[in-house]
Every structure is written in structure tokens, then in C-alpha cells.
Structure 1
Amino acid sequence: MAKFMISGFADEIDADFETQLKGLQALGIDFIEVRGVNGKNISILSHKEIVEVKHRLAHYGIKVSSIGSPIGKISISEDFGAHLDMAKRIFETANTLNSPFVRIFSFYMPEGSDPALYRNEVIERVGAILEAAEGSGLTILHENEKDIYGDSPERCLDLMEACRSPHFASAFDPANFVQCGCEVYPAAFELLEPYIRYVHIKDALDDGSNVPAGMGDGRVEDVLRSLKAGGYEGFLSLEPHLGSFQGLAELEQAPLTDTLEASGLHTFRLAHSSLISILNNI
């Protein structure tokens, strides 16, 4: 029997971590995908700050579904040594916060270049990241992101097969596929379904703009309906991008922050209610 557990990137509610947790609590959400904490990315928090995060989570009764890390969100031409050191620190953070998953990316490609030219380097780097996580008990999730090697369903599948591991899986993001001009359902979904262990609830129109789940071209309801039929047991993590929030400029290469109103609990509530409506339908 399928089991959907709702989580979310609560830094889209507010930069303040306590406000994030209060917002999740108000919506009855028991999990968080930690990314921004008090205006800082999770990757740069000190050990003392991580321990405080753990205490705040326990106080509000909220558990971590995944670390929304920036691992692999650099150009393939940038230095990898320091980046791998950061990844190792994030794995320690994940274990401190009892997170089962860490989200990664597969490196930005030089603009206008053929990703195939960088395949071997990408596979080598992702392999090194997976090797660094060995023995940690963590599952590493690759997110399909715009302009990285794994932005198309075919290259995501290539990564899954080339770096095959029981601790490497796909974080499926419908909106990102839409924004890359890829058919989400059935094409991308059927190609990656065997590897999907996590889903980002984000939807988009074919002009690239983000909309509440079910209102775009990401076929979110069809994806979730098929996952349910397949007995999926895992997280649905709200990443609405329905407004501007602190840290968005670092996440999106396009300058969106000037065109969006501020996000907050109101936009997160809309994203949550849209997901609940889909779940009720199926």
C-alpha cells in the first residue's frame, strides 16, 4: 500500500528557522527539507548552529526528510576538491539531524556546450560523492535541475545506471522537467520510475513560470496517481517557488527575484492545499 509523507522547503515560508517550524506546525506538516536556516545555507552552518537546529526541531516535533544541499550545484569547470570537502561536512550534518536523504545535483554545463563532452567528468564526480557517503547510512538523491548534466530524463537515467547503487536514487521534480522542455508524463516518469525515491512538489507552465501543483504542465496528479498504483512509500516535498524568498537568487540562474512578490506562509499554504486537493482526488 502506498504511503505519502508530506515535507517541504520551509525556507520559502521565512528565512527565520523558528518561523519556518511554526509555519509547518500550523499546516500539520511533520517533516522539513532543510535548506536555508536563518538566512544561511545549511552547508555553511557551524557545528554549534547545527546542534541548535536539532534542538529546535525536537522542540517543535518536526523531523528532517532530507538535506536540500547545494552539492553538485557548481560549474563542471570549478574546483571539485573543496566542493567534495563540503559534501563530507553535509553528510555529517545529515547524520546529526537524523536525515535519511541528501539531495545533490550533477553540475552546470558550460552555456551552449554539448553535455556529452562532460559525461565522464560528471560520472567521476558523482561517483566520488557517493563514495564519500559510503557507510553513512544516507541515500543520495539526484535532482533533475535546469542546465545541469542531469536536466533531461535520458541523462538522469544515465546517471542512475552509470553510478548504480542502492544508496543512489532520483528526486523527481516535475516543474524542472517542464522548464527544460521535457515531457513529464508519461515519458520522464516511466523512464525514471524504478529509481524514484523522493518527489518535489513543484509545478510550472511551459513558459517557465511556477504555479501551484496541478495547475501547470507537470502532470503532478498523474505522477502521484501512478506512484500510488506502484506502492510508493516516501516523501512529497513542497518546493513551491510561488514567490521570492531569501536565497532564491542563489538557486535560480534566471533573475526571478525582481518579478515575484514575497513568498511566505500564504504561498506555502496555497502550495500545501493544492497538494492535498490532488491527494484527495487520487
Structure 2
Amino acid sequence: MRWKLAAFADEIHPDPAPALDTMHAAGINTVELRSAWGKNVLDLTDEELAALAQEVARRTMTVAVIASPVGKSLITDPAAFQSARLDRALAIARRFGSWGVRVFSFYLPPGEPPERYRDEVLRRIEQWVHRAAESGITLLHENEKEIYGDIPHRCFDLLNSIGSPWFRAVWDPANFVRCGVRPFSTGFAMLAPFIAHVHVKDAVLGSGEVTVAGAGDGEIAETLAALATRGYRGYLSLEPHLLIAGSHGGFTGRTAFLTALRALRQLLEGIPAPS
């Protein structure tokens, strides 16, 4: 089989039409949906979602994952808001026929030990997973800097403790690097059984500068080779963040996006596809 590629269309352009055109022309026909027309996916109206669905269908493309911001709030904030946001994300996933919804494991109060909030993080996410399972949709935990699950051993703690096939890992090497971690060396063996989705972006240790795949310290070539050996069936989703790399999203632009895609394809040339 071939590697399956996807991309964040809003990395290319805030307007879905030119973004999807660029993806389609480049041979990527699967979208990870984070925003459109400058609005977060969860804030789109039903009419806007219908218009977006038409743009996707017109190009015979699909939306595999809803890249929601659910869980990107302080763990000390009330749980109800994020719970309602999850319900919206699941409804949008059902509308687009998406198999996964991205989530996060809450920002922690600065300077406080993560262990103090472990039980509450687990309690909230377990409730999410139960609701997602009822919808037949997998929740995909992304390792974001400064949330509970930002480094490998705490990601493992979440995934292993919840122990549900409806709760899997997004492997984001740049985010690990920005936490001071060499991803493959430190975390791959531990997290490999849980990885169901991969974000393709790289970064440099120390500075945190985001780069194209293979130009940073994300050990992406090693990871891809190991995924191939394991028979990985998920997507490699391009999220380059080459122009803007913030905690609430990123942007790359068309030209830099195509550069990032070429870098990924060059890496893949030397790695057999999963068998």
C-alpha cells in the first residue's frame, strides 16, 4: 500500500476554495479540518459547514479528522464549556463522515506539578471518550506544549490509563521537540501501540524554530521507517506551521506548503510504504 497523505487546508489559505485547489493539484485529497474563512471549525454555522462540505465534495475530497481545540483550556476552568465543544465537534465529524476528532489534555496552572491535576484530567477525558465511542468516532490526543500530555511519559499515562480503542495518539514530533524532547529516541517505543495519526512538522531543539520535515530534530525519517515496519495504516497529515506557529494554530502559505510537501515526499522516497 502507499502512504496516506492529508493536510490542514487552512495552512495554505483561510479560504477553503484556493486551499483545496492547491491540495487537489498536489495529489492530496484528504483534509484535516481546523478552520475555514478565518473561523475555528467549531464556530462555523450550519450554513457555513454546508458550503464547506460542497467545496470538499466538488473536488471528490474527504475530511478525515476534525482538528478541534477541545481541551485547550485551563484544567481549573469549569468542565462544561469544553464538554459542549466536544459535542459540537462530534456532530461535525458525523456530518463530514470523519473518523477522528482531535483533543487536548488541558493547560496546567504555571509552576504547579502536573501530578496535582492528573486525576481530574483523566476524569474529564474518560467522559469524552465514552461519548465519542457512542458516536463511533475516535478521539485523537495531540501532544501540545504545556498541557498535561505534552511529553511522552504523560501521554502514555493518559492513553494507557484510559485504555480505550476510541482514544488514540496523534504523534506530533515538532511539539515534542518544543518541549525539549527528541521524539523518536525518547517516546516512540512507548507510544507506538497508540499512534493512529501523525502530524508532519519538524522543529529545532533549543530555539523551537519550526522547519520542513527532516530539517529539524524531530527524527522524522526514523519515525517513518519504524511506522512502516509496524504496518502503520493512518495518515501523515501536513501541518507545516512555517510562517506562523502559535498555540492556537499556524499558517504556511501556498509556496511554503508545497516546499514542505516536497520535503516529506523526499523523505518517503527512501522508506518502503507500510505493508
TM-score for both structures, normalised by structure 2: 0.95
**2:182/2:219 contact within 8 Å kept:** no
Q: Which residue of 2 aligns with 1:49?
A: 48
Q: Which residue of 2 aligns with 1:174?
A: 173
Question: What's the % identity of the aligned pairs?
Answer: 39
Q: Which residue of 2 aligns with 1:275?
A: 264
Q: Which residue of 1 aligns with 2:12?
A: 13
Task: For residues 40-64 of structure 1, give each alpha carbon's deviation from its aligned partner in whole angstroms, at most 9, with x where no partner exists.
Answer: 0001112222122111100011111
* Structure 1: distance between partners of 2:30 and 2:224: 19
Question: Structure 2 matches for 1:92-241, cutoff 5 A?
Answer: 92-206=91-205, 207-241=207-241
SS at match of 1:233: coil
* Structure 2: distance between partners of 1:3 and 1:79: 44
SS at match of 1:177: helix
Task: For residues 203-262 of structure 1, give each alpha carbon's deviation from its aligned partner in whole angstroms, at most 9, with x where no partner exists.
Answer: 000110000000000000000000001111110000101013xxx65616xxxx9xxxx7
SS at match of 2:122: helix
* Structure 1: distance between partners of 2:218 and 2:85: 32
Question: How far did residue 137 of structure 1 move?
Answer: 1.3
- C-alpha change, 1:16 and 1:33, in structure 2 (3 Å) is same
**1:3/1:233 contact within 8 Å kept:** no
Aligned residue-pair number: 270
Task: For residues 125-173 of structure 1, give each alpha carbon's deviation from its aligned partner in whole angstroms, at most 9, with x where no partner exists.
Answer: 1111112212211111001110000001000000001111111100000
Are residue 251 (structure 1) and residue 248 (structure 2) matched?
yes
Residue identity matched to 1:113 = E
Residue identity matched to 1:54 = A
Q: Which residue of 1 aligns with 2:252?
A: 263
Structure 1 residues not aligned, in runs of 5+:
none
**1:34/1:64 contact within 8 Å kept:** yes
Residue identity matched to 1:278 = L
* Structure 2: distance between partners of 1:171 and 1:132: 19
Residue identity matched to 2:221 = E
Cα-Cα RMSD: 1.4
Residue identity matched to 2:258 = R
* Structure 2: distance between partners of 1:197 and 1:139: 9
SS at match of 2:149: helix
**1:71/1:87 contact within 8 Å kept:** yes
**2:145/2:179 contact within 8 Å kept:** yes
TM-score for both structures, normalised by structure 1: 0.93
